[in-house]
């Protein structure tokens, strides 16, 4: 009933991203990607959907389990190796940022690859 009386009060959800955070839109993802020098392809969008769906089903996402789920979803394309090509900042860390999600702890290791 509230929708009929005040249609602007309830935010419209993107039908392709039903699990997206309330304040997330495709333009938010595009801006973040542009800031990182990336152009989002259909596989980027598919990854964002997978991340949002995973977060909707798991109260406290685990980085390893999330990596495994993404690896399985993109197995035919090359799994995580393929996803790291799409998301140079990491499919979980960078992908979560694009998807409007907070990456689980341990998703980014700032010392990885460092010689300090």
What's the CATH code of the domain at 81? 1.10.10.370
- Whether residue 89 lies inside any domain: the answer is yes
Task: Indicate whether 4 belongs to any domain.
Answer: no
Closest CA to 66 of 34, 97, 106: 106
29 in a domain, yes or no? no
Domain assignment present for 45 = yes
Task: Bin 106: left if φ > 0, else alpha if -120 < ψ < 50, else beta.
Answer: left
Assess if residue 5 is contained within a domain: no
Range of the domain at 92: 41-99
Query: How many domains are there within the chain?
Result: 1
For the record, the structure tokens of 108 come out as: 């980014």
d(CA 2, CA 83): 42
pLDDT band at 57 (very low <50, low <70, confident <90, very high): very high
Confidence of residue 106 (pLDDT cuts 50, 70, 90): confident
Q: How confident is the model at residue 1, as a pLDDT?
A: 44
pTM, two decimals, is 0.81
Please report the pLDDT score of residue 101 as a whole number.
94
What is the pLDDT averaged over residues 36-64?
Answer: 94
Domain membership of residue 30 (yes or no) is no
């Amino acid at each position: 009933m509230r929708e009929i009386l005040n249609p602007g009060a309830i935010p419209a959800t993107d039908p392709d991203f039903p699990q997206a955070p309330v304040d997330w839109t495709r333009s938010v993802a595009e801006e973040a990607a542009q800031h990182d020098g990336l152009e989002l392809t259909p596989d980027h969008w598919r990854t964002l959907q997978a991340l949002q769906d995973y977060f909707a089903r798991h109260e406290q996402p685990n980085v390893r389990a999330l990596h495994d789920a993404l690896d399985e979803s993109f197995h035919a394309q090359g799994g995580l190796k393929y996803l790291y090509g799409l998301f140079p900042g990491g499919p979980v860390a960078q992908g979560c940022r694009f998807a409007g999600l907070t990456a689980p702890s341990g998703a980014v290791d700032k010392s990885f690859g460092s010689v300090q």
